[in-house]
């Protein structure tokens, strides 16, 4: 591949009327950042929020680029990890920002993975009734999914993502150069959302994953760029049609109902979000197959693809009642009925309510036997 292809930038528009914005995706994009900030008339005060790992790798360079262009940068670095996505961390960020004199014309730049995007996004949505937000995702998961769509928020002790808002960024800046330092486990997490996009909307993306999986797991450039762009296009399209999840957007929850309960069963410390989504997708595909919605052949393809993705967590350590218990707390469940997004073929899903606990239990048993065979 030629250098010009490496550095090519693509712009995907998220069409939301006045709140429309661009996702800029490519490689080696840092030299162009300042120009885009100027075009978008970003004010001179920037609050850069990042975590300690991303900060150690990218903070100095990012600050330097911004300061050289005349921006006043306040950097706030928090510890890494899902456990930071909570209200007390939100409070401490507010305090630092107030002390630093951050005002309504300031801009928050969220530099990091989905945790930073969700957390800093929530701070941006609420600080002085909302200040400008730029998403600069640095994980594969964030670059294919979480940085787009405006869902921001934090966890509550009683449930994941229970406190939040819809708050769209000014733009999303997805530079694949960041992925060079990503640990393999985080690449696996990104695959959780990528496989999801194939199943919910794009059979040819799924087929591409079947033939290029190992290359993508190694972050080979051309295949990674292709899937990144395709996922971003699909997410942009879905969000444009249903920003607040009144219907269509819920398809993005494939694998997430059981996925969230697996995350919760391990107290958010055992499984990472993307890993839980992969496992949840297997279990939910089993439900679909057992209900006669998903053809056996498509089911087998889904299980085979996900089984090729190494998840180094033994899910047998989870107790079934604990998983079932946290399913009941999931926000997508109504009082009486649970609700699942299930595949009807590769490339299409539908919502199904009221699945019996017995069937859910057997899907979890299937999951643990499917994983132990790999």
Ligand X SMILES: NC(=O)c1ccc[n+]([C@@H]2O[C@H](COP(=O)([O-])OP(=O)(O)OC[C@H]3O[C@@H](n4cnc5c(N)ncnc54)[C@H](O)[C@@H]3O)[C@@H](O)[C@H]2O)c1
Helix ranges (H only) for 127-159 are 140-141
Q: Is 55 in the site for ligand X (CB under 6 A)?
A: no
Interatomic CA distance for residues 18 and 109, integer angstroms: 21
- Of 16, 32, 34, 53, the one binding ligand X (CB under 6 A) is 53
Q: Which of residues 107-126 bind ligand X (CB under 6 A)?
A: 112-116, 118
Q: Is 139 in the site for ligand X (CB under 6 A)?
A: yes
Q: Is 135 in the site for ligand X (CB under 6 A)?
A: no
* 151-156 vs 339-345, strand pairing mode: unpaired
Interatomic CA distance for residues 191 and 214, integer angstroms: 11
Question: Minimum CB separation from ligand X for residue 130, in Å?
Answer: 17
The Cβ of residue 198 has, within 10 Å, a number of other Cβ atoms equal to 24
Catalytic residue among 27, 82, 85, 193: 193
> Annotated catalytic, 253?
yes
Question: Minimum CB separation from ligand X for residue 3, in Å?
Answer: 22
- Counting Cα atoms < 13 Å in the Cβ hemisphere of 179 gives 30
Q: Is 54 in the site for ligand X (CB under 6 A)?
A: yes
> Annotated catalytic, 212?
no
136 - beta bridge partners? 111
Contact, 320 vs 361, CB < 8 A?
Answer: yes
> Annotated catalytic, 235?
yes
Contact, 63 vs 132, CB < 8 A?
Answer: no
Of the pair 130, 321, the CB lying nearest ligand X is at 130
Question: Minimum CB separation from ligand X for residue 124, in Å?
Answer: 13
Q: Is 330 in the site for ligand X (CB under 6 A)?
A: no
DSSP class of residue 346? T
> Annotated catalytic, 256?
yes
Interatomic CA distance for residues 88 and 3, integer angstroms: 45
Q: What number of chain residues touch ligand X (CB under 6 A)? A: 30
- Of 85, 196, 228, 301, the one binding ligand X (CB under 6 A) is 85
Contact, 62 vs 48, CB < 8 A?
Answer: yes
Could you give the residue numbers annotated as active site? 129, 151, 193, 235, 245, 249, 253, 256, 260, 273
Residues that bind ligand X (CB under 6 A): 51, 53-54, 57, 80-82, 85, 112-116, 118, 138-139, 141-142, 145-146, 149, 151, 161, 178, 181-182, 186, 189, 273-274
């Amino acid at each position: 591949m030629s250098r010009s292809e490496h550095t090519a930038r693509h712009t995907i528009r998220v069409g939301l009327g006045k709140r429309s914005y661009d996702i800029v995706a490519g490689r080696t994009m840092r030299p162009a950042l300042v120009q885009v900030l100027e075009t978008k008339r970003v004010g001179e005060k920037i609050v850069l929020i990042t975590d300690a790992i991303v900060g150690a790798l990218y903070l100095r360079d990012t600050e330097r680029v911004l300061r050289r262009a005349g921006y006043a940068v306040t950097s706030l670095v928090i510890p890494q990890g899902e456990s930071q996505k909570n209200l007390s961390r939100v409070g401490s960020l507010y305090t630092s920002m107030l002390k630093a004199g951050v005002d309504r014309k300031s801009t928050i730049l969220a530099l990091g993975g989905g945790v930073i995007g969700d957390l800093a996004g929530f701070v941006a949505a609420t600080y002085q009734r909302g200040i400008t937000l730029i998403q600069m995702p640095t994980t594969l998961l964030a670059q294919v999914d979480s940085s787009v769509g405006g869902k921001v928020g934090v966890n509550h002790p009683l449930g994941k993502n229970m406190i939040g808002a819809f708050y769209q960024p000014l733009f999303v800046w997805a530079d694949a150069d960041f992925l060079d330092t990503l640990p393999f486990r985080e690449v696996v997490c990104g695959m959780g959302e990528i496989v999801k996009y194939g199943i919910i909307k794009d059979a040819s993306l799924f087929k591409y994953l079947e033939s290029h999986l190992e290359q993508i797991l190694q972050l080979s450039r051309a295949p990674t760029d292709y899937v990144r762009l395709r996922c971003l296009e699909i997410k942009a399209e879905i969000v444009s049609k249903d920003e607040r999840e009144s219907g269509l957007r819920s398809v993005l929850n494939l694998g997430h109902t059981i996925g969230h309960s697996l995350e919760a069963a391990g107290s958010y410390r055992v499984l990472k979000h993307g890993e839980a989504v992969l496992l949840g997708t297997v279990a939910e595909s089993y439900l679909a197959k057992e209900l006669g919605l998903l053809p056996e052949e498509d089911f087998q393809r889904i299980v085979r693809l996900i089984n090729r993705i190494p998840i180094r967590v033994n899910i047998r350590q989870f107790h079934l009642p604990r998983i079932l218990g946290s399913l009941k707390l999931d926000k997508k469940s109504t009082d009486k009925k649970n609700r699942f997004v299930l595949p009807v073929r590769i490339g299409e899903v539908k919502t199904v309510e009221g699945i019996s606990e017995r069937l859910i239990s057997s899907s979890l048993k299937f999951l643990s036997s499917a994983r132990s065979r790999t």
